[in-house]
């Protein structure tokens, strides 16, 4: 029986609140089905949390706001947007609509866990503690914490996690959409009677996005990548296994921001990928892609299990490593951020980041290795800059991607593996197109010569800021002093 149904058979109109966070879509959304199932009418809301707004860069905010606009449109203008601390706003809204329950998709990152506990506590203080916070589903194919070793211990190494993750499997996509609920119009709530709920307009930010935000854009891009159409007429999931490491080819899916904001659920993608695996032409590409989605789940599980790894070395024995933090380190860090290191592939990556809010995965590894092992700067500096700049900036994937490179994370790259930026450039950008695209000073240098610049450098392009060979030795000396590595 629905909570609003009375014993005498008369139906009072019951209400629930659907609180959107990292799940800005209507399809494949279990919390929407749960909210609709719990009550006759549902109010959709989003809270602009000042803390989250403060910690996101302009492009990520633009992507968030555009995603909210798309969601509001799909709801015919019935998305309530408020500003303030969720622990103040959610109980206020729940009270205003006399909700029986508040519905969310689970968040496992440290801030989200603490925020949701505060909201739950605040809800217990109203309506005689009768309003429950219901969590249904998450942003991951398999909820973090669910795939463990036989003894219940969390996995620390990706490959066995991947095996267990595939064996565990995931649910089919949930069938949900705009018609799944009878939506309450926020106008009937805001400023009526004793309600002190204040709606705000969805803000805007004056920056351009290199890909459009929102559920429709996510679906379209995913379809093109699957089918080898539109932006993906050259490279698609079919050759993803071969081409994914090539920043010059535009062969990766660019789905990361959509996944970050929940414009699409990974389960929707996995349903397609497991079908594609049955086709011999697509099998290898689909399996390689599925493995990358598993990395996303893996790092979310690592963060849930070891929240300290957000800003500290997952492997605490690396706390002893010598890092540079003096004035010269700050200057070196500034040159790295500006893409003026004199190493073409590093500079191209850093300029792609500041110019578009995105960077290819292979290049993320190269620039991260350069910062940590050639410039000896703490990985946290680079991670913070990435989070500021990336549209897909995500605490779990970013911090553990950095720690993989720095050697202090779960099954990290061995500490003695120091990427040589020049040979990495030659190998993964063999045409040189990627560097030429992002470093205009080198636009006239033909072919792969752009990585070595043996015939000299244009006068406006800097000399290499360090001697890679010498810094590699220095990195090995420092890493050699860490025990338990
Ligand atoms: C130093 C560093 C920092 C990173 N920071 C982030 C970040 O803040 N946010 C983020 O989403 N990814 C991050 N990654 C992972 C990866 O670089 C991006 O997910 C990928 O480049 C996004 O582009 P794409 O969607 O075209 O990837 P594709 O190659 O098309 O991959 C498909 C999807 O798989 C997932 N994925 C792929 N590789 C990884 C990975 N190594 N770890 C986790 N998930 C992965 C992403 O969701 C991605 O959208 C980081 C990697 C490194 C080395």
Interface ipTM:
0.99
CB 99 within 8 A of CB 39: yes
The stretch 377-388 carries a mean pLDDT of 97
Distance 364 CA to ligand 1 centre (A): 9
Mutation pick for ligand 1 pocket among 221, 361, 378 (CB with most ligand atoms within 8 Å) = 361
Using CA atoms, how far apart are residues 270 and 312, in angstroms rounded to an integer? 32
pLDDT tens for 85-144 read 999 999 999 999 999 999 999 999 999 999 999 999 999 988 787 899 999 999 999 999
Query: Ligand 1 atom closest to Cα of 395?
Result: 8
Mutation pick for ligand 1 pocket among 397, 403, 405 (CB with most ligand atoms within 8 Å) = 397
Query: Ligand 1 atom closest to Cα of 390?
Result: 8
Task: Specify the residue with its C-alpha closest to ligand 1, atom 29.
Answer: 252
Q: What is the pLDDT of residue 248?
A: 95
pLDDT tens for 22-81 read 999 999 999 999 999 999 999 999 999 999 999 889 999 999 999 999 999 999 999 999
Distance 381 CA to ligand 1 centre (A): 19
Q: How confident is the model at residue 356 (pLDDT cuts 50, 70, 90)?
A: very high
Task: Specify the residue with its C-alpha closest to ligand 1, atom 39.
Answer: 292
Distance 245 CA to ligand 1 centre (A): 12
Using CA atoms, how far apart are residues 26 and 179, in angstroms rounded to an integer? 9
Query: Ligand 1 atom closest to Cα of 259?
Result: 47
Is the pLDDT score of 293 beyond 90? yes
CA distances to 172, 223, 264, 357, 364 from 255, rounded to whole Å, are 20, 11, 9, 13, 16
Q: Which residues contact 422 (CB under 8 A, 6 or more apart)?
A: 343, 345, 451, 452, 468
Query: Ligand 1 atom closest to Cα of 398?
Result: 5
Buried b (16+ CB within 10 A) or exposed e, 448-458: bebbebeeebe
* Tokens of residue 422, six digits: 């020049």
List the 101-106 sheet strands across, edge first. Answer: 79-83, 41-48, 15-20, 101-106, 132-138
Distance 257 CA to ligand 1 centre (A): 9
Predicted TM-score of the model (pTM): 0.96
Mean confidence (pLDDT) of the chain: 94
Ordered by where they begin, the domains of the chain are: 1-138+182-192 (3.40.50.620), 215-306 (1.25.40.80), 316-480 (1.10.579.10)
Q: Is the CB of 402 under 6 A from ligand 1?
A: yes
Within 10 angstroms of residue 193's Cβ, the number of other Cβ atoms is 7
Distance 259 CA to ligand 1 centre (A): 10
Using CA atoms, how far apart are residues 57 and 462, in angstroms rounded to an integer? 28
Q: What is the pLDDT of residue 444?
A: 95
Q: Is the CB of 238 under 6 A from ligand 1?
A: no
Buried b (16+ CB within 10 A) or exposed e, 311-333: ebbbbeebeebebeeeeebeebb
Q: Is the CB of 162 under 6 A from ligand 1?
A: no
* Tokens of residue 95, six digits: 């009270």
* CA–CA–CA angle 344, 433, 332 (5° rounding): 15
Distance 349 CA to ligand 1 centre (A): 14
Distance 361 CA to ligand 1 centre (A): 6
Distance 69 CA to ligand 1 centre (A): 25
Using CA atoms, how far apart are residues 300 and 260, in angstroms rounded to an integer? 12
């Amino acid at each position: 029986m629905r909570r609003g149904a009375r014993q005498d058979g008369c139906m009072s109109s019951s209400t629930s609140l659907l609180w959107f966070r990292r799940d800005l879509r209507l399809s494949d959304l279990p919390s929407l089905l749960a909210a609709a199932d719990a009550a006759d009418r549902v109010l959709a809301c989003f809270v602009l949390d000042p803390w989250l707004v403060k910690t996101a860069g302009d492009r990520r905010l633009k992507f968030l706001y555009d995603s909210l606009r798309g969601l509001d449109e799909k709801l015919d203008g019935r998305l309530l947007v408020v500003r303030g601390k969720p622990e103040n706003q959610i109980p206020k809204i729940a009270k205003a609509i006399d909700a029986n329950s508040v519905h969310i998709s689970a968040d496992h990152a440290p801030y989200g866990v603490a925020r949701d506990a505060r909201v739950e506590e605040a809800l217990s203080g109203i309506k005689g503690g009768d309003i429950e916070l219901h969590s249904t589903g998450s942003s991951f194919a398999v909820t973090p914490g669910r795939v463990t070793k036989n003894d219940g211990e969390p996995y620390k190494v990706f490959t066995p996690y991947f095996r267990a993750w595939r064996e565990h499997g995931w649910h089919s996509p949930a069938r949900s959409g705009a018609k799944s609920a009878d939506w309450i119009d926020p106008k009937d709530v805001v400023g009526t009677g004793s309600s002190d709920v204040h709606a705000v307009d969805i803000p805007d930010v004056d920056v351009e996005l290199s890909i459009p935000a929102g559920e429709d854009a996510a679906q379209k891009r995913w379809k093109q990548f699957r089918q080898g159409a539109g932006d993906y007429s050259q490279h698609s999931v079919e050759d993803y296994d071969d081409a994914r490491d090539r920043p010059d080819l535009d062969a990766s899916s660019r789905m990361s921001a959509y996944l970050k904001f929940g414009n699409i659920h990974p389960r929707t993608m996995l349903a397609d990928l497991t079908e594609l695996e049955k086709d011999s032409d697509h099998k290898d590409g689909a399996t390689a892609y599925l493995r990358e989605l598993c990395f996303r789940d893996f790092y979310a599980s690592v963060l849930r299990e070891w929240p300290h790894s957000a800003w500290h070395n997952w492997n605490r024995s690396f706390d002893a490593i010598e890092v540079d933090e003096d004035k010269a380190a700050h200057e070196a860090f500034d040159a790295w951020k500006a893409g003026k290191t004199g190493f073409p592939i590093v500079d191209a990556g850093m300029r792609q980041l500041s110019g578009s809010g995105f960077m290819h995965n292979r290049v993320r590894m190269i620039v991260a290795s350069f910062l940590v092992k050639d410039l000896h700067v703490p990985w946290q500096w680079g991670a913070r800059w990435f989070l500021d700049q990336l549209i897909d900036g995500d605490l779990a994937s970013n911090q553990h991607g950095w720690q993989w490179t720095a050697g202090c994370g779960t099954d990290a790259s061995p500490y003695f593996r120091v990427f040589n930026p020049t040979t990495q450039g030659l190998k993964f950008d063999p045409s040189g197109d990627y560097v030429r695209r992002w470093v205009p000073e080198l636009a006239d240098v033909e072919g792969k010569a752009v990585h070595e610049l043996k015939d000299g450098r244009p006068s406006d392009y800097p000399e290499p800021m360090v001697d890679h060979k010498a810094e590699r030795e220095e990195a090995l000396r420092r890493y050699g002093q860490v025990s338990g590595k």
